[in-house]
Amino acid sequence: MRIAAKCPICSKPADEKHRPFCSKRCADIDLGRWLKEGYRVETEEGPGEDEPGGGSRG
């Protein structure tokens, strides 16, 4: 038995054409969130490493 995937934006059943989303609209909403930095990816950087001159580069 296969479990139907749900759209991560609106929870409707995902459409194969726009997978994992249900529609182009939901895919575009997700893309907009990435482009506006609405999502964050955790890293193991120490304090100050994301600031100019604060890292251990070079």
9-21: per-residue pLDDT in tens? 999 999 999 999 9
Structural domain boundaries, residue 30: 10-37
Query: Three-class SS of residue 14?
Result: coil
pTM: 0.63
Q: How far is CA 47 from CA 2, 3, 43, in A?
A: 45, 42, 11
Measure the CA–CA gap between 15 and 29, rounded to whole angstroms.
16
Residue 24 lies inside a defined structural domain of this protein: yes
Domain count, the chain: 1
The pLDDT of residue 5: 92
Residue 27 lies in a domain: yes
Q: What is the pLDDT of residue 46?
A: 67
Tokens 């059943």 correspond to: 13
The answer to whether residue 23 is domain-embedded is yes
Is pLDDT of 30 > 90? yes
Query: Is 17 part of any domain?
Result: yes
Residue 3 lies in a domain: no
